[in-house]
């Protein structure tokens, strides 16, 4: 009887130890975006989290955070670099402050269309840029996107570049954007995305520029009257992970995270495509005046002096490599 009890106790202890080890084997990480869950960025991290859990058989669980609840994009990227946050999905707005080489992607009118932009980022040029993050303590997993950026304001319709002069516009905390918008005669006002709606509402700035997917998800129609489909800059996003955390993963788990990021990008781009199809009609129905016929050559012409400086900064050959990529 004593022997049976001892055996049962040993079995119970063994089972308890097994369950405890199993529970301890689950590693929880956090990922954040700066805009709401019901958005092209929200679907990116939701898909990523689901895929990581599935591909690691539940050993890694990703907690998702939205609407800059863990900090704006720059703060989230800093946290990932420092290791106080494991992951984020961010636009490239603040990224040149960490990885200056990425600035080249923000040159206005560099990309012809979505097919061109996605091919560049998924191809050798994009992969080379992803590798530049390693030296800064960040592992860049995959390129996603916000989309092509357009301009909104509360003052007047913008039909030509001259109409932009004197408008106080919120811009991303991005030196290339700031330089370009000064070329249009805009008064650029860099600020974190989390502050933009209130700044527009209070009249601190007259306008802002973002892809349609962001304009709709952020409900900027409530505080902006005019939209012009300038498509002046293509705005990538990127999945970022603390490099130390990535390096600790097994080879199989590294592959799982990379593949999960690719699935997140697929969902992200599909949502952007869907948003683009519906956004203009939706924004018009909500009262916005939309200028959808834009002579982009005039906008490009207004930036001729700025382009000359960009060629000095980045090298004409590097810009042409992107422009001519097929």
Q: Would the pLDDT of 62 be above 50?
A: yes
Q: What is the pLDDT of residue 21?
A: 47
What does the pLDDT look like over 194-217, one tens digit per residue? 999 999 999 999 999 999 999 999
Structural domains in the chain plus CATH codes: 2-323 (3.40.190.170)
Beta carbons within 8 Å of 19's beta carbon, 6+ residues apart: none
Strands 226-242 and 138-153: antiparallel
Per-residue pLDDT at 235 exceeds 90: yes
How far apart CA 138 and CA 81 sit, in angstroms, is 6
Coil, helix or strand for 28?
strand
| Residue whose token pair is 């269309």 | 113
Overall size of the chain counted in residues: 326
Percent of the chain with pLDDT over 70: 93
Cβ(187)–Cβ(168) below 8 Å: yes
Instruction: Answer yes or no: is pLDDT of 19 > 80.
Output: no
pTM of the entire predicted model:
0.89
Report which DSSP code applies to 135: G
Torsion angle (degrees, nearest 10) of CA 223, 229, 233, 238: 60
What are the pLDDT digits (tens) for 121-130? 999 999 999 9
Q: Which residues pair with 291 in a beta bridge?
A: 228
4 band by pLDDT with thresholds 50, 70 and 90: very low
Q: Number of C-alpha atoms within 13 angstroms, CB side, residue 234?
A: 23
Identify the pLDDT of residue 195. 94
pLDDT at 174: 86
- Rounded to whole angstroms, how far apart are CA atoms 162 and 184? 7
**CA 102 centroid distance within chain:** 13
Q: Both tokens of residue 250?
A: 């097994």
Q: What is the 3-state secondary structure (H, E, C) of 58-71?
A: CCEEEEEECCCCCC
pLDDT band for position 24 (cuts 50, 70, 90): low
Q: Report the C-alpha gap between 302 and 284 in whole angstroms.
A: 28
- Judged against a pLDDT cut of 80, whether residue 1 lies above it is answered with no
Write down the pLDDT at residue 9.
55
| pLDDT confidence band for 320 (50 / 70 / 90) | very high
Q: What does the block give as tokens for 275?
A: 């948003």
CA-wise closest residue to 74 among 96, 54, 50: 96
pLDDT in tens, 79-114: 999 999 999 999 998 999 999 999 999 999 999 999
Which phi-psi region, left, alpha or beta, contains residue 58 (left: φ > 0; alpha: ψ -120 to 50)?
left
Whole-angstrom distance, CA of residue 245 vs CA of residue 249: 7
**Predicted pLDDT of residue 172:** 87
- Please state the rounded mean pLDDT for residues 236-262: 98
Q: How far is CA 64 from CA 49, 78, 86, 110, in A?
A: 7, 18, 11, 33
Average pLDDT of the chain, as a whole number: 93
Instruction: Please say if the pLDDT value at position 298 is more than 90.
Output: yes
271-293 pLDDT tens trace: 999 999 999 999 999 999 999 99
| Section 19-31 average pLDDT | 75
The pLDDT value recorded for residue 25 is 87
Partner residues linked to 144 by β-bridges? 237
Query: Does the pLDDT at position 20 exceed 60?
Result: no
Which pLDDT does position 7 carry in this prediction?
54
- First-to-last C-alpha distance (Å) of the chain: 79
Half-sphere exposure for 1 (CA within 13 Å, toward CB): 0
């Amino acid at each position: 009887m004593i022997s049976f009890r001892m055996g049962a106790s040993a079995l119970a202890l063994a089972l308890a130890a097994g369950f405890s080890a199993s529970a301890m084997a689950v590693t929880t990480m956090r990922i954040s975006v700066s805009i709401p869950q019901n958005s092209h960025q929200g679907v990116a991290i939701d898909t990523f989290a689901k895929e990581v859990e599935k591909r690691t058989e539940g050993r890694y669980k990703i907690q998702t955070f939205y609407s800059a609840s863990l900090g704006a994009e720059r703060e989230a990227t800093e946290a990932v670099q420092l290791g106080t946050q494991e992951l984020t999905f961010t636009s490239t707005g603040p990224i040149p402050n960490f990885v200056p080489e990425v600035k080249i992607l923000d040159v206005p009118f560099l990309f012809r269309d979505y097919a061109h932009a996605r091919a560049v980022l998924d191809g050798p040029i994009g992969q080379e840029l992803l590798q530049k993050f390693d030296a800064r303590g960040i592992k860049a997993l995959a390129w996603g996107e916000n989309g092509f950026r357009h301009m909104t304001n509360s003052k007047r319709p913008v039909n030509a570049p001259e109409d932009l002069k004197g408008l106080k516009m919120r811009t991303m905390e991005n030196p290339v954007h700031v330089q370009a918008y000064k070329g249009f005669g805009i008064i650029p006002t860099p600020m974190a995305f989390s502050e933009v709606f209130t700044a527009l509402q209070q009249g601190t700035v007259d306008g802002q520029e973002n892809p349609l997917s962001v304009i709709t998800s952020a409900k900027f129609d409530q505080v902006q009257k005019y939209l012009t489909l300038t498509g002046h800059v293509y705005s990538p996003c990127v999945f970022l992970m603390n490099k130390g955390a990535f390096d600790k993963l097994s080879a199989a788990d590294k592959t799982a995270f990379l593949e999960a990021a690719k699935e997140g990008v697929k969902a992200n781009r599909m949502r952007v495509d869907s948003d683009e199809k519906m956004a203009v009609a939706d924004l018009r129905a909500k009262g916005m005046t939309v200028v959808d016929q834009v002579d982009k050559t005039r906008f490009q012409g207004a930036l001729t002096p700025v382009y000359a400086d960009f060629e000095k900064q980045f090298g004409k050959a590097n810009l042409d490599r992107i422009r001519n990529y097929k």
